[in-house]
Amino acid sequence: MALSRRHKLTLMTLVLYWPALFVAAHIPIPRVVREAGVSDKSLHFFAYMVLVFLLWFAVCPDKRVNWRKAAVWWVLLVVVWYGAIDEWLQGYVAGRSTDIVDFFADLAGAVTSLVVLSILSFWPASLLITSVLIFGVTNVTRANLADVFPVAYRAFNLFAYALLTMLWIQYGRQRSRGVSSRKGTPAAFPTGTAARFRWVAATLLPPMGFLVAAKLGSLLFRKVVAIGDVLVPALGIVVVVVTVLVIDVLRRRLAGSGGAQPFDT
């Protein structure tokens, strides 16, 4: 059976993410990470939350978690054994140690992900987990990441919010398809200046609203929020929205001249 594009992307991401996670957990902790005062338990939680999300949709790409089915318990068993072996091996790495609390943080992240996936399907779940990850990574350190990792932190903000916006757009497409299928009409990207303006506004507002909420959260955690910490992620959001809009316009022009079909959402 042919794999869907989303399933292929999930598998590719898992193939890259899992080895990278293993390597990151089995090298000495960099000095700059120690200086940042990163919450080790939070990183374990977030890392395994993402791992289980990818693993579940690699195994069951079109299903929510059903606790009465064997698949969820097999996924949990694999992650529990991996987490235990992972912690044991860290005892042999300079500067690291086997920590049972880290293991329980791993387990908490895994179970949290499975609970989310028992309620939400792929796209809303990916939005929620990405939002939690962005907010968490921004606020799990005692030091200001912009001071410790100035370039890396700005790059993270740019690409993380761009990803969040892409997920929001795709989620909107899936909802449009669902509404259209119930009405018996094909889903279509908005046409006309007014319709496109409404689409841009509806697409920009949620990611921008989350950006404001995340930075307000940082202030509550007594983080310094520079203007660049707001402008860079805002740029990522705007670039994605404009790019999607431009691609649609170009595809419609090609379709009108007998080329590619219009952008089907």
Tokens of 181: 């299928």
**Spatial separation of the C-alpha atoms in residues 251 and 24, rounded to whole Å:** 42
According to the model, what pLDDT value does residue 93 have?
86
Structure pTM? 0.86
According to the model, what pLDDT value does residue 188 have?
56
Let me know: does 233 contact 219? Beta carbons within 8 Å.
no
Report domain extents, the chain: 1-119, 123-135+144-265
**Spatial separation of the C-alpha atoms in residues 230 and 226, rounded to whole Å:** 7
According to the model, what pLDDT value does residue 262 have?
42
According to the model, what pLDDT value does residue 86 have?
93
Number of H helices, E strands in the chain: 10, 0
46 burial via Cβ count (<10 Å: 0-12, 13-18, 19+): buried
Q: Which helix (H) or strand (E) holds 69?
A: none
According to the model, what pLDDT value does residue 184 have?
45
Spans of the chain below 50 pLDDT:
180-181, 183-186, 258-265
Tell me: the pLDDT tens digits for 1-41? 577 889 999 999 999 999 999 998 888 877 766 666 666 78
Tokens of 34: 């120690």
Coil/strand/helix, residue 53: helix
